[in-house]
Structure 1
C-alpha cells in the first residue's frame, strides 16, 4: 500500500479541571493537556493507539502544521499505509506532564499567583504522566487502548501503562527503554541538569520574563546528544574532519565537524525548549523504577500485566543497552505474559528508533497483525429464548448491534438473531424467538486468529460471529466491520522475534 501523510493537523487542548494527586502526594489542578489525533475512532472504540513521546518531544507526532517546514517527529511511522496505519488505527499523542509544549509544566501559569510556576511546580514522575494520559482518554471516552507505543522515555510510559492500568492495554511496544534507570543514566542526567543550573541566568528557575539560561541548556543538550549517538555513527558521520578549514587552529575555537554539530544541536534546542522542563523531565526519568526501589522484583512488578508485549531494542544503543530490554522480557515471561524481543540492527545508536522506519515499521506491523479474537471482541447484549420479539428489537435499537446472541437459562449459546430476523418476525407476526433465530451458529474461540475468523465469515457469508469459551459461555462478538478496520487481508508476515 502507498504510504501517505495524514496531512494538515492541529494541536488540540483539554483542560482537566479536577487535576490529579501526584505520586509525591501533592495535588495539581487544573491540568491543561495538549494532544493530536490521527485517523478515525471506530464505533466500538477498539482501534485506539497511544503514542508516547520522549524527553523533548511533543504532541505533534505526524502531519503538518501551518507554516512549519518539517512534519511531526514520527511522521515516518504514522499515516495511511505506514506502520501505525491511520486507515485502520486511531492514533493519539499527547504532550507529557511537566513539558513545555502545551501541557501544564513549570513554564505554565500558577493559578494561585498568576505567574509562571518555575520551581514551585511539583516534581512529577512517569506514573503521573500516565495518569494524566488516562484522564485524556477518559475525556475521549476510550476505555481500552489497542496498543501503547513509545521509545526511550516514551517506552517507560508504555511500560507504566501496563502496570497502572493493566486492563486498559491490549498491546504494549516499549522501544529502546528500561524498567528502571541505571546509575549511569542517572549520572548523565545529573551532569546535564548541573549544566543548566550552573548558568547564572537560570536564577533558581526564576527567569521567565528575562533572558533564559541559553548557555546552560545548550550545553545540557550537547551532552545528551552524545548519548543518543553511537561511536560508529559519529565516526561515519564526522570522522576527524575539520570545519571550514584545512588545518588545526591551535586555539579553542571550533576545529572539528563534530564540535560544530554539537553546538548546532545545542543552539537549536534552546529555541524550542524550556530549561526548567528539562530539569523536571530528566528527574522523572531518574525516578523511574518499576521495582519501587527494590521493594518488589521486576517480575513482581508485572504480576498483573494483561498486555501482549513486543520489546524492541537497538544493537548500538549504549544509553539504554539491549540487556535492559532482555530483563524486561524475562520478567514478563516469568509471569507467563506473552512477550517478544527483537532488535533494530543499526549503527545510529539510541536515536535509531526515530531514523530507522523500515526495520521498526516492519516489526510493529508484524506484531499488530497477530491480533487474536480476544484482543478485539466487543461486549454485546445477550437475550434469552423467551425474550419477546418487540424487546429484542428495542435492545437492537438501543445497543446499535444488528446481531445478538441468544442464550439458554444456563448462559450457553443456543442461537443468534439478526436485525433482518426481527424485521421479518414483526412483518409476519411471528412472536417466538425460536422461530426466527438461527440455531446452528458459527462461532469463534477467544484465541482464534483473525485470519481464521475472516475465512469463516467469507465461507458462510456472515458478518458477525459470537465468541464463546469452551464451556459455552458467551464472551462477546466480533464483526466483519471491526476486522476490516484493524487487519489487512492476506495473512501474517514473517516474525523477527528472537529467543533470549
Structure 2
C-alpha cells in the first residue's frame, strides 16, 4: 500500500528527473504535499483521492486557504475521501523550485531553473502519484492556476481521474492576462536585487519588485465595486494624499491596503517562484498542439464541472461560459455571485461549499449512476 505522510503533515516525494514541455530537465525533483483522510481503493485501481490544486501563491495547506471545506462531513468529506494537495513544481512550499538546492552543487537553482508550463505541473503530479504507486484519483479540483491544472489533468490523463472541477480560469491565457502578468514579472526583474534570478546567496532579495508585482496582481484579484465600497477616495488615517506636493508617505486608504497585501506576500513567498509560476500561467493554452481551443476542449471527455465568479476581472465569467459550451462532457456549471472578484472562490466559503458539494455529487453520479457510492 502507498505510504502517505500522516494527515495534515508535510510530505516530500522524490519524483526523479522531470522533462519539461519545452525540452529542459529538472533532475532530482521533489513534490511536497499534505493529505487529509484515509486512502482507499488501491486494490481496485480507482482510489478515493480528491486532488486539490492550489492557486499561484498558495501551497499545500488547502485546509487553511479553503477553511471549512475539508474535513469530516464537509464538502470535501474526509470520512469518505482522501484529500491530497500537492505543491506545484516551481513553487515555494517544499517542491523543487528556483530557491531549492541544485543537485549538482547544492546552490539555489536560481536562473538555472527552467521555464515551466501548466502541463509540466501536471506531469510532475503524475510522477508524484507514480512514485507513490497510486494509479488514479477520483477527482481533481482547483481554482485559478489550480483550475488550469485541473483542466490540463482532464486533457493529459483522462484514464487517471473520474471528474475534474475547473474554477475561475480560462481555456488559455488571454492577451490581457499575459500583459498584466508580464508587468508583474517586469517589476520583479527590474529590481536591482534580482541579479538575473541569482540573488539567493547575495544576502538580499528583490522584495520591492515582488511587492509591486503583488500590488498589481491584487487589483486583478479583487472586484472594482468591493474596493470602491471599502475605500472610496478616503485618506489613510493620519495621512494626507492631497497635500501641496506628492509624498509617498501620504496615502489613500486603498494604497495602504495594497501595501499591506504586498508586505504579507514578501514575508512568505519567493520572488523566483513568483516569476516561474506567473510565467507558467502566461504559457497556459489548452489548445496548443491539440488543434486549437475548441477542438481540444471537445476532445476532453472527462466529466467536468465548471464554476466562475460574476465580478472576476482576471478571468471573466464569459471565459468559463466558453469552457462550458465546448468541453466534451459537461457535468454542470455554477456562478459565484460576489463583489469580491476573482478571489471569491477563496473568500465566499458558503458558496464554495455548495459548489463543491454539487461537484462531488455529480461526479459520483457520473461514475455510479444513481447507486450509492462505493466510497461511502
What TM-score do you get using the length of structure 2 for normalisation?
Answer: 0.92
**Contact 1:298–1:328 under 8 Å retained in 2:** no
1:260 aligns with 2:259: no
Query: In the alignment, which residue of structure 1 is the partner of 2:266?
Result: 270
Between the aligned partners of 1:142 and 1:286, the Cα distance in structure 2 is: 30
Structure 1 runs (4+) greater than 4 angstroms displaced: 246-249, 371-374
Q: Which runs of 5+ in 2 are unaligned?
A: 1-5
| CA distances 1:317-366 after superposition (whole Å, capped 9, x unpaired) | 0110011111111111xx4x234222001110000000111112112212
Query: In the alignment, which residue of structure 1 is the partner of 2:12?
Result: 13
1:24 aligns with 2:19: no
Task: Specify the SS of the correspondent of 1:123.
Answer: coil
Task: Specify the SS of the correspondent of 1:35.
Answer: strand
Match of residue 324, structure 2, among 315, 329, 334? 329
Task: Specify the SS of the correspondent of 1:148.
Answer: strand
The Cα of 1:25 is off from its aligned counterpart by: 1.3
Query: In the alignment, which residue of structure 2 is the partner of 1:234?
Result: 227
Q: Classify 1:53/1:372 alpha carbon distance in 2 versus 1 (closer, same or farther; 3 Å).
A: closer
RMSD: 1.9
Query: In the alignment, which residue of structure 2 is the partner of 1:116?
Result: 108
Q: Classify 1:201/1:373 alpha carbon distance in 2 versus 1 (closer, same or farther; 3 Å).
A: closer
The Cα of 1:373 is off from its aligned counterpart by: 6.6
| CA distances 1:174-221 after superposition (whole Å, capped 9, x unpaired) | 100011000000001111011111110111111112110111111111
Q: Which runs of 5+ in 1 are unaligned?
A: 1-6, 63-71, 377-447, 455-481, 487-500
Structure with the greater relative contact order (CA < 8 A, sep ≥ 6): 1 or 2? 2
The Cα of 1:97 is off from its aligned counterpart by: 0.7
Between the aligned partners of 2:259 and 2:137, the Cα distance in structure 1 is: 40
**Contact 2:7–2:35 under 8 Å retained in 1:** no
1:76 aligns with 2:77: no
Q: For residues 87-126 of structure 1, what are the structure 2 equivalents within 5 Å?
A: 87-126=79-118
Q: For residues 324-403 of structure 1, what are the structure 2 equivalents within 5 Å?
A: 324-332=319-327, 335=328, 337-372=329-364, 375=367
Match of residue 315, structure 1, among 302, 310, 314? 310
Between the aligned partners of 1:254 and 1:265, the Cα distance in structure 2 is: 18
**Contact 1:370–1:449 under 8 Å retained in 2:** no
What TM-score do you get using the length of structure 1 for normalisation?
Answer: 0.70
Task: Specify the SS of the correspondent of 2:62.
Answer: coil
Between the aligned partners of 1:57 and 1:191, the Cα distance in structure 2 is: 21
| CA distances 1:99-135 after superposition (whole Å, capped 9, x unpaired) | 1111001111111232111111111111010011111
Task: Specify the SS of the correspondent of 1:217.
Answer: helix
**Contact 2:331–2:363 under 8 Å retained in 1:** no
